[in-house]
A = this chain, B = another copy of it.
Amino acid sequence: MTERRHRLVLATHNEHKVHELEQILGDLVDDLGLEIVSAAAFPDVPETPETEVTFVGNARLKAAALASATGLPAVADDSGLAVDVLGGSPGVFSARWSGSTSGAAATRHQRDAANLALLLEQVSDVPDAHRGAAFRCAAVLVMPDGREEIAEGEVRGHLIRAPRGTNGFGYDPAFVPEGDNRTLAEYSDAEKNAISHRGRAFRELSPRLADALRPLG
């Protein structure tokens, strides 16, 4: 039995997201002998600012910077909520929708709450028939030689008026996926991975990730 190890770096400092990606990739992790490490393992590599105006652009920017700095295959994703009646906004601005009103010193939880409250106020007069929205995600793999693979995922649903649920983060408590009446914040982690925009993007990326890594093994 050959001992193969592929290291893959994920552009996040959040270990929970590493674990989430391992769950989404499933058998591929064992199959490839894949070790997923977070960007936190490379403290000298500065975080890439998200200056692009599309999910793919931001994910590519982050993955390319990390692959270049580490010499490892790198995966990054960018995601957000696209509200129909706002023409796809907040989109790439989802995490900074309320601007500095939530303050640079605010916790992630406080920023999430401020962003969600602002969005629901903005669309408070919008009738139920026009409250459609989608969570979208772009996942990009960049190889050390510069080759890249892009995958996108989406989950459609609608915005409710009064947030419910305590799992998840961001806009999850106000978003009800199509065909359900629970919010994403009322899903378990496993349920959410099965239908979420991130889950779908990473599963779409998965076979191409395998094809790209195998020849290196």
Contact = CB atoms under 8 A, between A and B. Distances in A.
A41 interface: no
A49 interface: yes
A193 interface: no
Interface string A81-107: 010011111110100111111000000
A4 interface: no
Contact of A85 (B53, B82, B98): B53
Interface in A113-163: 117-118, 121-127, 130
B51 A127 contact: yes
Given A53-B126, A126-B53, A130-B53, A99 B121 contact: yes
A190 to B, nearest CB: 32
A17 B156 CA distance: 41
A127 B49 CA distance: 12
A99 to B, nearest CB: 3
Given A53-B85, A86-B86, A87-B89, A99 B127 contact: no
Contacts of A53: 85, 126, 130
B122 A93 contact: yes
A106 B121 CA distance: 16
Given A98-B118, A101-B101, A118-B98, A125 B86 contact: no
A50 interface: yes
A78 to B, nearest CB: 13
B85 A87 contact: no
B93 A117 contact: no
A139 to B, nearest CB: 21
Contacts of A96: 121-122, 125
Contacts of A118: 98-99, 101, 118
A52 B200 CA distance: 33
Nearest to A97: B122
B89 A86 contact: yes
Interface string A45-59: 000011101000000
Interface of A: 49-51, 53, 82, 85-91, 93, 96-101, 117-118, 121-127, 130
